Amino acid sequence: MTVTKAESGEDSGEGGMRGAYVPSQRRLDRERHKRVRARRATAIAALSTLVTAVVLYLVVVSAPGWERTKETFFDGQYAREALPKVLDGLWLNIRLLLICGVLVLVLGMLIAIARTLPGPVFFPLRALAASYTDFFRGLPLIINLMIVVFGVPALRLQGVTVDPVLLGGTALTLTYSAYVAEVFRAGIESVHPSQRAAARSLGLTNRQALRHVVLPQAVRRQVPPLLNDLVSLQKDTGLVSIGGAIDAVRASDIIAQRSLNYTPYIVAGLVFVALTIPMTRFTDWVTARMDRQRAQGGAI
């Protein structure tokens, strides 16, 4: 049976418009209804948010101690004084985040690989890696910081630094490496053993299979939890101030102790929030994107 050009919809010239898609009236009505519902939902959400904000404002400002709280925590003069010093100290927090973040990822990956090495010959290495993660995940970060920042200088070891910034960064790296190692280990173990077996059948060694097949899949799958750990690390860099390092938290603490006003703490907190929100939203975007890929059967 011969199909003519007109019957196949492959028109040209003036007849080209004949094959163009024209949505049905039902589809147009459905899309219009969806737009109306979306606008209505947005209006309701905005109205409920406004009402909630007004109620919270009235509750706070009508509290008996609001005037005293406003002077102590929300004084504009002290906020203007503290902001430049807090921003100067924030540069130290950012540097700690960048350097410690890289070290945490590298050390965490090495520990995770050590925990997943097969064979009885690697049992001591697996046991050591497991002990490391169990110890530092169970040890509170603030105690780890105190031990490293105050304990290491007390030993008076030759050639060992007593810089609180370096010691604080070391403590952060030790603690967060344990958490990141478990994230990497979960990703490695989530890769089906058939992937490694297929790589071996193609002639790859165990090391090559791990590097070229297992680790790329494991890292892609664990990107969202890794980003969450980096967000937590960004906030916890402020704890290095316990050793005397002048970061954003310590800068606000100096002003607060001198003025007996806590507004600088609020300023430092808002600065950290402003720094954390973009990272959090990026993490949410990556998570949603990977969820969509997984739902569509795409590569993750």
CB 207 within 8 Å of CB 107: no
Residue 297 has a pLDDT of 61
Quickly state the pLDDT bin for 9 (edges 50, 70, 90).
very low
Quickly state the pLDDT bin for 298 (edges 50, 70, 90).
low
| 258: CB partners within 8 A, 6+ apart | none
Residue 268 has a pLDDT of 92
Helix %, strand %, coil % for the chain, to 5? 80, 0, 20
Global pTM reads 0.76
DSSP SS3 for 119: coil
pLDDT higher than 90, residue 220: no
- CA 46 to chain CA centroid, nearest Å: 28
Token pair for 228:
């969450």
Quickly state the pLDDT bin for 7 (edges 50, 70, 90).
very low
Residue 148 has a pLDDT of 93
Residue 183 has a pLDDT of 92
The mean pLDDT of 34-50, rounded to a whole number, is: 92
pLDDT higher than 90, residue 70: no
- Going 89 to 90 to 95 to 97, the CA torsion angle's sign is positive
pLDDT higher than 70, residue 121: yes
Instruction: Read off the pLDDT of residues 145-204 as tens digits, 9 standing for 90 and up.
Output: 999 999 988 888 888 888 889 999 999 999 999 999 999 988 888 888 888 788 888 888
pLDDT higher than 70, residue 4: no
Quickly state the pLDDT bin for 8 (edges 50, 70, 90).
very low
pLDDT higher than 60, residue 226: yes
Sequence length of the chain is: 300
The mean pLDDT of 281-299, rounded to a whole number, is: 74
Mean pLDDT score of the chain, rounded to an integer?
A: 85
Quickly state the pLDDT bin for 11 (edges 50, 70, 90).
very low
| 229: CB partners within 8 A, 6+ apart | 104, 176, 179, 180, 183
Residue 12 has a pLDDT of 46
pLDDT higher than 60, residue 6: no
pLDDT higher than 50, residue 88: yes
pLDDT higher than 90, residue 242: no
Q: DSSP for 12-76?
A: -GGGGGGGS----HHHHHHHHHHHHHHHHHHHHHHHHHHHHHHHHHHHHHTSTTHHHHHHHH--H
